[in-house]
């Protein structure tokens, strides 16, 4: 990308700021680090630099004069846990991903400084954990009834005019408004067929989270004006009140506001007024005033662990341990703020048993099993009895022979990390053990 010295008005010439060399280079670093699949043009992250080297000047000129044409996004369906359901995800081309990222980087400082402090999704210095801690603060203050609301297909139902009227409050550069409009109307390619998008904000693009926050900021400000205790993360929000009666009243008024002002719809089947222990927000709930992961989140955790420790997954144990460690660290970094310690020991024991089962499956032959147990210092009597047993893998994984050989310490040396240690490090990071 050729260096160009540019002069621009910070309030109007926003497109020049977006296309500046420094901003585009920063955007490319972000897009490159996020990796991701190719869009409908099949261009990969690896192929893009050579393409940009040759074509960027022409692309930049088309963006400046308004002739640039956005590409439809490629629609893929992402599984929603073990529910059997999926959610749609739009994958823009690498070029459109880059341009959207560049737009987001310039517009975020313009809008973010005036967003509500109770909006936590996809904002600099904000996180899902902060949203959970904010709700916990309200629970401790006695607000223990949740107005647990669900916006029906939010990203698919956003009215473009309603959204763009809010974007234009701070963006005076009509070229930028036109470009954003093109992205909203770019369409979706589904199984080779183009579907128009007269409504909605396609999930998957770097610009979509910011647009969602811009649209819902009026809602945040309305809740603040009414004095409600709430936290919002993207299109997921929970309001806490002190009584069920107040909750139903708030639910009714919130529904009216969203439908009237923002043209959004609450999913009545998934929305409810319940005590906080029966509500969920971002995978968490509360037991008393303590944070606890939801049963649904824990079920998904166990499903994933079963995949990585499945007997029919024919990979080496090193690969298995690598995948397990990656998943366990990621899961605990998020869900480890749960303040309930009781299940942790049971999780570790269950995972160790499943790993022992994997080893037992891989060893296969009686001679191999007996020989490996003897090498691991299992008493000869137990090694022979266990190694020659015809009992099932799961049952033998908890036998005296396998446990005295494949000890907890030995499994740790092979690369199996401890959920208990991860949890302790989160809650007691300075504790010397």
User: Phi and psi for 138 in degrees, rounded to 5?
Assistant: -65, -40
Q: For residue 216, give every residue at least 6 positions away whose Cβ sits within 8 Å of its Cβ, in sequence order, or none.
A: 119, 232, 235, 262
Report yes or no: 219 and 118 within 8 Å, Cβ to Cβ: no
Q: Are strands 272-275 and 193-195 parallel, antiparallel or unpaired?
A: unpaired
Position 89 scores a pLDDT of 82
pLDDT of 1: 43
Nearby residues of 332 by Cβ (< 8 Å), 6 or more positions away: 419, 422, 423, 426
Contact 31, 45 (CB under 8 A): yes
Distance (Å, whole) CA 155 – CA 207: 12
Quick check: 282 and 236 in contact, CB under 8 A?
A: yes
Q: Decide if pLDDT at 6 tops 70.
A: no
Q: For 32-52, how does the pLDDT look when each residue is reduced to its tens digit (9 = 90+)? A: 999 889 999 999 999 999 999
Predicted structure pTM score: 0.89
pLDDT in tens, 333-384: 999 999 988 888 899 999 999 999 999 999 999 999 999 999 999 999 999 9
C-alpha distances (whole Å) from 377 to each of 212, 265, 293, 404 are: 60, 64, 39, 8
Distance from CA of residue 173 to its chain's centroid? Answer: 32
How many Å separate Cα 62 from the centre of its chain?
34
Kind and range of the H or E element at 160?
Answer: helix 160-167
CB atoms within 10 A of CB 266: 17
The confidence band for 84, taking pLDDT boundaries of 50, 70 and 90, is low
Q: Which is nearest to 176 in space by CA: 10, 362, 402?
A: 10
Tokens in use for 102?
């560049």
pLDDT tens-digit series, residues 220-270: 999 999 999 999 999 999 999 999 999 999 999 999 999 999 999 999 888
In the predicted model, is pLDDT for residue 313 greater than 80?
A: yes
What Å distances lie between residue 410 and 28, 32, 110, 169, 357, CA to CA? 44, 39, 55, 62, 15
**Residue 283 carries which DSSP code?**
T
Contact 277, 286 (CB under 8 A): yes
Mean pLDDT of all residues in 102-122: 97
Closest CA to 353 of 387, 413, 305, 290: 305
Structure tokens belonging to residue 360: 């037992």
As a whole number of angstroms, the distance between CA 342 and CA 319 comes to 30
User: What's the Rg (C-alpha) of the chain?
Assistant: 27
């Amino acid at each position: 990308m050729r260096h160009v010295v540019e002069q621009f008005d910070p309030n109007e010439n926003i497109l020049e700021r977006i296309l500046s060399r420094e901003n585009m280079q920063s955007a490319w670093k972000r897009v490159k680090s996020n990796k991701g699949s190719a869009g409908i043009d099949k261009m990969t992250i690896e192929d893009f630099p050579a393409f940009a080297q040759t074509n960027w000047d022409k692309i930049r000129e088309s963006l400046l004069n308004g002739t640039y044409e956005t590409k439809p996004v490629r629609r893929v369906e992402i599984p929603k846990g073990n529910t059997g359901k999926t959610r749609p995800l739009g994958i823009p081309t690498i070029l459109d991903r880059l341009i959207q990222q560049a737009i987001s980087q310039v517009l975020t400082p313009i809008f973010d400084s005036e967003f509500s402090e109770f909006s936590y999704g996809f904002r600099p210095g904000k996180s899902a954990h902060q949203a959970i801690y904010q709700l916990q603060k309200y629970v401790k203050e006695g607000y223990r009834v949740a107005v647990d609301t669900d916006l029906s297909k939010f990203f698919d139902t956003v009215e473009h005019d309603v959204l763009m009227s809010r974007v234009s409050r701070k963006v005076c550069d009509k070229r930028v408004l036109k470009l954003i409009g093109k992205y909203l109307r770019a369409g979706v390619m589904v199984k080779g067929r183009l579907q128009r998008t007269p409504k909605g904000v396609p999930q998957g693009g770097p610009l979509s989270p910011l647009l969602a926050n811009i649209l819902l900021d009026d809602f945040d400000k309305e809740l603040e004006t009414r004095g409600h205790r709430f936290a919002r993360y993207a299109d997921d929000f929970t309001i806490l009140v002190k009584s069920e009666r107040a909750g139903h009243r708030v639910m009714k008024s919130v529904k009216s506001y969203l439908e009237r002002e923002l043209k959004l719809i609450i999913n009545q089947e998934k929305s409810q007024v319940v005590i906080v222990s029966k509500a969920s927000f971002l995978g968490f709930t509360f037991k008393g005033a303590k944070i606890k992961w939801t049963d649904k989140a824990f079920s998904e955790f166990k499903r994933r662990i079963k995949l990585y420790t499945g007997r029919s997954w024919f990979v080496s144990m090193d690969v298995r341990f690598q995948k397990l460690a990656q998943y366990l660290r990621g899961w605990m970094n998020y869900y480890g703020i749960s303040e309930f310690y009781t299940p942790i020991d049971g999780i570790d024991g269950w995972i160790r048993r499943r790993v022992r089962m994997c080893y037992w499956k891989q060893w296969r032959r009686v001679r191999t099993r007996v020989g490996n147990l003897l090498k691991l210092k299992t008493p000869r009597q137990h090694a022979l009895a266990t190694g020659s047993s015809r009992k099932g893998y799961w049952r033998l994984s908890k036998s005296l022979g396998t446990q005295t050989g494949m000890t907890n310490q030995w499994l740790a040396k092979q690369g199996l990390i401890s959920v208990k240690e991860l949890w302790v490090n989160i809650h007691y990071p300075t504790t010397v053990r």
